[in-house]
Chain A
């Protein structure tokens, strides 16, 4: 079993707290091994690349270099799609552009930072769980079925695009797919949920402009919420703190500002898997979600 360096990133330290807590609880329950990435920095999210793309590459390379040079790890695991995307992008860029690699190494020397030398891969929490446990593994450890809750699995933009930086996802049978991702569906169905046929799995929630172009974001989020309800979903499962907060925030905004109410619940996939493993809702941070799913989960006899 591969031990990984865990990169929570800034969102999981803040508004994405429930995702961090449910990730740690789930990983502990599954007896998987991870160690916090030591003294990490922000990956730059969707913002710093607009100041200059090299900033994003550098910030991610610095984190990867901490894992390899200071901790002796060859795998970094990130649950946040934004962090995951940025680290993967840096990995790809530094493997394909000698010029970028030279710039990153030179900047690291100037700043007395660990120097990136490659030999590291980034994986998403979801991919790690598929690799280490998989649907069959989950089936054998389920203590409490999700009782056929109808779920729309929302993967978002950054987990699958651009496909060029994720060649391993389109490697045929058994791999993920950038076009029609299915890992979350596989795990949640093993936990007893019913996945609905959701057409907007990788559509955009407008996260990059969630505050700076709020009306557009509300419209994009409404597309997701309404399509999920049209598909018969009771819950949208998320795997990214930015998507998750965006969905929660604009669900409220749509209701208060535009009078459009939707009832679909927004829950992290780690919280759902944790419930199926018999972990308590408090331990999984379900009471911390803005989208209040507690009564619904009780009604479904899941908690």
Chain B
């Protein structure tokens, strides 16, 4: 069935009469805006089920569009185009193109959980945002984002040793994303850190970087978890 949706408002469908007089009353201007409706037939009705298979988005079907997620969202306060309610709506209707339009910002979700905290239907919108980001990357609509590069740098260290070493995460992330390590603010930060720091701490930090912390009993845990993730991803995309 075609979708006739009044809330999918494109800017170029807003019609304003610059000079309109009805019964002698001047009704020109913005308040007289009319919107040309649009009727959509190019939706994918398997899309919601596909997104639901990605871990974290299982509850997306529960949404009743109250908008509490967007209203509480940290990123919406930074950028009004960041609209979890709308992306959940588009997901449910199978409007993939609407998701793809916002491919460069969906990954910016900071996981503050304000949405999941307030959602009256337990949709867990934070999980849906992450699932949509994964879908965009895995289907090739976006390059790997810096956020994902960071996540995998982190996970690779855990998979190997059971723990991370934070200066290595920072160094490797900057190298992988082609950013210089000697950024102004970072240099300044290190200078301020050194101001009162005793020598023993410097030696401790250096040792920490050379011999990164590890979980001695880690054994085959990393391999078992990697195999599990591979199996789950194949099942979701198969």
Q: Hey, which bits of chain A sit against chain B, CB under 8 A?
A: 10-11, 13-15, 17, 39-42, 44-55, 58-59, 62, 107, 110-113, 157-158, 160-164, 178, 203-204, 206-209, 211-213, 216, 219-220, 248-249, 252-253, 255-257, 282, 287-288, 290-292, 294
Residues of A within 8 A of B84 (CB): none
Contact A51 B151, CB 8 Å, known A14-B165, A111-B224: yes
Q: For residue A112, which residues in chain B have a CB less than 8 angstroms away from its CB?
A: 219-220
Which B residues from 80 to 117 make CB contacts under 8 A with A?
108, 110-114, 116-117
- Residues on B with C-beta less than 8 A from A209 are 108, 110, 147, 150
- Cα separation A54 to B78 with both chains bound (whole Å): 30
Do the beta carbons of B166 and A162 come within 8 Å of each other?
no
Residues of chain A lying within 8 A (CB to CB) of residue B149: 212
8 Å CB interface, B181-236 against A: 184-185, 188-189, 192-193, 195-198, 201, 208, 213, 215-221, 224-225, 228-229, 232-233
24 CB contacts below 8 A, A to B, read A10-B163, A11-B166, A14-B208, A39-B215, A39-B217, A41-B215, A41-B221, A53-B55, A53-B127, A54-B55, A55-B225, A59-B158, A62-B221, A107-B225, A161-B113, A164-B117, A206-B74, A208-B110, A209-B108, A212-B149, A253-B185, A290-B192, A290-B193, A292-B195
Please give, as numbers and ranges, the residues of chain B lying within 8 Å of A160 by CB-CB distance: 117
- The reply to whether A52 and B220 form a contact with Cβ atoms under 8 Å apart is no
With A51-B151, A111-B221 in contact, is A40–B215 under 8 Å at CB? yes
Task: Tell me how far the C-beta of A284 lies from the nearest C-beta in chain B, rounded to whole angstroms.
Answer: 12
Which B residues between 108 and 133 are near A, CB-CB below 8 angstroms? 108, 110-114, 116-117, 122, 127, 130, 133
In the complex, what's the smallest C-beta–C-beta distance from B61 to chain A, in angstroms?
18
In the bound complex, residues from chain B placing their C-beta under 8 Å from that of A213 are 108, 110, 146-147
Chain B residues within 8 Å of A, Cβ to Cβ: 55-56, 74-75, 78, 108, 110-114, 116-117, 122, 127, 130, 133-134, 145-152, 154-155, 157-158, 162-167, 170, 173-174, 184-185, 188-189, 192-193, 195-198, 201, 208, 213, 215-221, 224-225, 228-229, 232-233
* Chain B residues within 8 Å of A58, by CB: 225
A36 to chain B, nearest CB (A): 13
With A39-B216, A52-B232, A163-B117 in contact, is A204–B112 under 8 Å at CB?
yes
Return chain B residues, CB-CB under 8 Å to A219: 78
B residues in contact with A53, CB < 8 Å: 55-56, 127
Partner of B74, one of A49, A51, A211, A220: A220
- A204 adjacent to B155 (CB under 8 Å): no
> In the complex where A48-B151, A213-B147, A288-B196 touch, is A107 in contact with B228 (Cβ < 8 A)?
yes
Closest Cβ of chain A: how far from B141's Cβ, in Å? Answer: 17
| Cβ of B10 to closest chain A Cβ, rounded Å | 27
Nearest 5 pairs between A and B by C-beta? Answer: A287-B196, A204-B112, A212-B146, A47-B154, A256-B185
Task: Give chain A nearest CB distance to B7 CB in angstroms.
Answer: 27
CA distance A13 to B205 in the complex (A): 10
